[in-house]
Structure 1
Amino acid sequence: MAELWTAYLFICVAVSSATATDKVCSYYDVYRYLNLSQSNELLTSVRPVKDWRTPTTVHLAANIYAILGVVEKTQVFTSFFQVQMHWKNEFLFWDKDQFCGIKSITVPYDLLWKPDIRVLEFIDEDVSLKEAFLSIRSNGMVVINKTLRIVSTCTIFAKQFPFDEQNCNLTFLSYQYLTGDIQLESEFNSSEIFFFSKNYIESEGEWELKGITVFQSSLNLEKEPLATLVYQVSLKRKYMLYVLNLLVPAAFLLMLDLASYFIPEPSGEKLGFKITVILGFSVLQLLLSGILPSNGRIPPLIAIIFASIFTFMLLSLLQTIFVKYLWNLKPDSCLLRGFCRKQKPSTDQFKDSGNQEDSVKTVSINLGQAGPDSSVLREMLLEIQTAQQMVIGLQREKETVLSLESAARALDTGYFYLYLMSVVSFFTYIAVSIM
């Protein structure tokens, strides 16, 4: 009898263990156990804590996935983030051993309460993909994974453009809940977030991600502050494109303007060449004006460089016009009396002319004594004297023209060296200020 009873117990244990091993569970069993439905206001409408004085801690991890652009003109930073948030729901938990080891389930997004986490700097319509589901873990942890296209304000300091670095802040916070209700914490530290973002970033455009700093802060809008979590994104501009498209052409045009001083002045091509160079530089200025912000208090460095180069070219053009005026100046139509006043004859010229007049008078007296036949000779002497005066006048005009040309050449040479030294000094100062 005892043996039969032992055998019966062995069979019962074997059947029960086989039944437990072959137990089949589904996610719907957990779904029904948790009583998940839109009509369950305990789960959909109120913050999931049993004691209202207990704050809900939201753990947030945001990795930058792409840098879509930074617009200096409007000071807007556009980025693409992958964000994960999770928090504890004190009304949702189950024993995974009772449900065949199910650790988590995925349910529709609208079945549970969620914190209204927003980005303070967001300024555009939210066109991010809407979440359809969220996950619930057996310990009551609710997890949301979302992708955000964030268009935010960012104060752009373009003083060092295009060698600048910018810091853009993204402040995550809840508008409806105070610090006593919701607290924000970062899931990872700054170095870990930067490591993940740097390794998995898909697009940077003209910017290079230099760092991400995460820190907690608070925003005082009410009697109690709002908890915030700030992501400070550090960006460095890839300047090579701007150097090749703006700075290098500007430097070449400046070199051409300097080289124009080697064009011979009588050819008449120097003035037109300088005007052409200035027009080409104006095109570069138009391209630059469409990039730089218009509301900056401190002008960008590249704007100072372009304005200085344009000033150099303009002064050079004015100097060329003045030299051209001196070169083509006529002694009888002069406006600058200091340059074209007729030269006074020298003492030797006075002596020569006096001697010639005395000789003419002597000859005239001798001819007068010679008789009436000397009238022909007297007229010949007068014509010779008139021709001599004309030659002296032409010689004086030639000397005046030569003096004007010498002054123009001296002015041209002096200004060239002054121009060259000014350009070298200016760019040396710019290079030192950048470094």
Structure 2
Amino acid sequence: MTLTFICFLLLIVGNISCLESEELQNDQHKSNESFAEFLDVNNARYELSDAGNQTSNHSSDTKAHTCSYLDVLNYLNFTKNKEMYTLTRPVKDHKQKTNLYLVMVVYAILDVRVADQTFIVYVWIEMVWKNEFISWEEEDFCGISKVIVPTDTLWQPDITIEEMVEKDKAPPSPFLQISHEGYTFYRNDKVVISTCKMQVYKFPFDIQSCNITFKSVLYTDEELQFHITEDNALLTAWSKEVMDSQYEWEFLNQSAHKKTVHYFGDDQTVIIYTIKMRRKSMLYVSNFLLPILFFLCLDFASLMMSNSGGEKIGFKITVLLAVTVMQLLLNEILPFTSRRIPLIVVYCIGTFALMLLSLLEAILMKYLAEKDSASQDRKNKNGSGLKEEREIEKGGPIHDEMGDQISSIYKEDSSSSQLTEIFLAVEKVSDELGKMKKFFLLSSKKEEVEPGYWTNVTNKFNTIFSIFYITSVIVFLCTLFSVWTSDSD
């Protein structure tokens, strides 16, 4: 009896277990169907999100899975394992080099100060390197392929600009971007105040080339390897496309190359960007070169002035002082460290020398003319009195002869009053003729005075000097401007 009861209990428990097992299997099947339905809905949401966040056609009771950037950061353990991302180079093997890609684009040429050899430019800089500790699958985070994080959360290369003489006052970019493949992108804009060795030999028709050199402060070639864009035409096109201001310069091209240097016992690679530009010279031509040329033309015109007076010398001195003032203005523009004398200085000095030579010639001609005039005055004082008396005495017999004739007539008929009147009238006319003869003799004598010896020498020398002066100026200016506008340095 007891055995029968135990068997009955076992049978009941077995049936209950079977029922529970069937219910558990049914529940698990339902759960699997619900999870599969959830995945299908989630995949549908993800596909719609990639297609442009279009409206879902599924029923409103279907729940979609959402992802945030914080999920990616938590997956990467940014908050818990911060030291791994900030303290050292992001490589798993210390022998592995970090490849750094660097690109610079010129946005604006702000200033080029020739006097203190300073180049001020506004540039955009982009650096890309790989962090081997960063990677995630896009599918696991709703297609998130990139995340923007603060710059202090990741390691950055210690890149500096070698020619920079003043620290950039603008704050650096506070963020950088990481991709799901581990690449880190950092973009920053800088106002670079750098030194530049100016070549002012052909100022203001000069072409300047200024370098901006990027290098690491501590990392050597065994740790950091630079990569650049070798297509210089592409770099130039990028800069010309975005360039906003060029100041008084015309941007020509931009080039980049790498060079290995040996600093402090270590080999380091530096990236040198060369910016080539041409000065816009029209303002200097109109405000400086042409006025000096006009002063030279005025000096040409002074060659036609008389050498006897002092007006010619005073005029030449005034023009010479004007050129001196222009030279003082030029002194404030050009640097003091130029190895060769700039052509614009040669232009000013050459013009000044030619005008000074013309002034000395005018002084010499005036001296010779005054010397000849003084000698002529002495001759006139000594011999003019005797010659005048002789010429006048030649006219004396005529007057006496007429007087004798009139006296004889008067004696023959002294009783006639008419003859008396005629005699008085003729005598008066005779006196007037004598005075007129004396006047014409003196006038003809002055007109017949021939120029002196030094006057002839002055006229010949002045003609020869004028031809020489004009020829010298033309040859000087043609030679200077041919060198000025040539392409060779």
TM-score, normalised by the number of residues in structure 1: 0.80
SS in 2 for 1:129: coil
Q: 5 Å matches for 1:65-76?
A: 65-76=107-118
Structure 2 counterpart of 1:420: 470
Which 10-residue stretch deviates more, 129-138 or 42-51? 129-138
1:408 aligns with 2:408: no
**Quick one: percent identity of the two aligned structures?**
33
- Superposition RMSD in Å: 2.8
Q: 5 Å matches for 1:213-228?
A: 213-228=255-270
Q: 5 Å matches for 1:29-428?
A: 29-37=71-79, 40-187=82-229, 189-266=231-308, 268-329=310-371, 402-428=452-478
Q: Aligned partner of 2:462: which letter?
A: D
SS in 1 for 2:165: coil
SS in 1 for 2:227: strand
Contact 2:160–2:214, Cα closer than 8 Å, also in 1 = yes
Which 10-residue stretch deviates more, 37-46 or 300-309? 37-46
Query: Could you tell me which of 41, 44, 51 is aligned with 1:18?
Result: 41
Distance 1:308 1:144 in 2: 55
Contact 1:84–1:146, Cα closer than 8 Å, also in 2 = yes
Query: How far is the alpha carbon of 1:144 from its aligned partner?
Result: 0.7
Query: How far is the alpha carbon of 1:15 from its aligned partner?
Result: 3.5
Aligned pair in 2 of structure 1 residues 173, 426: CA closer, same or farther (>3 Å)?
same
Structure whose alpha-carbon radius of gyration is higher? 2
| Runs of 4+ residues deviating >4 angstroms | 4-12, 340-343
Contact 1:88–1:140, Cα closer than 8 Å, also in 2 = yes
Contact 1:38–1:110, Cα closer than 8 Å, also in 2 = no
Distance 1:227 1:61 in 2: 15
Q: Deviations over 1:193-223 (max 9, x none)?
A: 1100012111111111111111111111133
Distance 1:342 1:219 in 2: 86
SS in 1 for 2:109: strand
Distance 2:109 2:254 in 1: 13
Contact 2:308–2:370, Cα closer than 8 Å, also in 1 = no
SS in 2 for 1:123: strand
Q: Structure 2: 5+ residue runs without aligned partners? A: 1-21, 46-63, 391-441
Q: Aligned partner of 1:413: which letter?
A: T
Distance 1:341 1:184 in 2: 92
Distance 2:373 2:251 in 1: 69
Distance 1:284 1:124 in 2: 33
Size of the alignment, in residue pairs?
379
Q: Deviations over 1:9-30 (max 9, x none)?
A: 6555223422554111111111
Contact 1:175–1:226, Cα closer than 8 Å, also in 2 = no
Q: Structure 1: 5+ residue runs without aligned partners? A: 335-339, 344-348, 357-390
Query: How far is the alpha carbon of 1:46 from its aligned partner?
Result: 0.4
TM-score, normalised by the number of residues in structure 2: 0.72
Contact 2:213–2:273, Cα closer than 8 Å, also in 1 = yes
Distance 1:297 1:19 in 2: 74
Q: Aligned partner of 1:424: which letter?
A: I
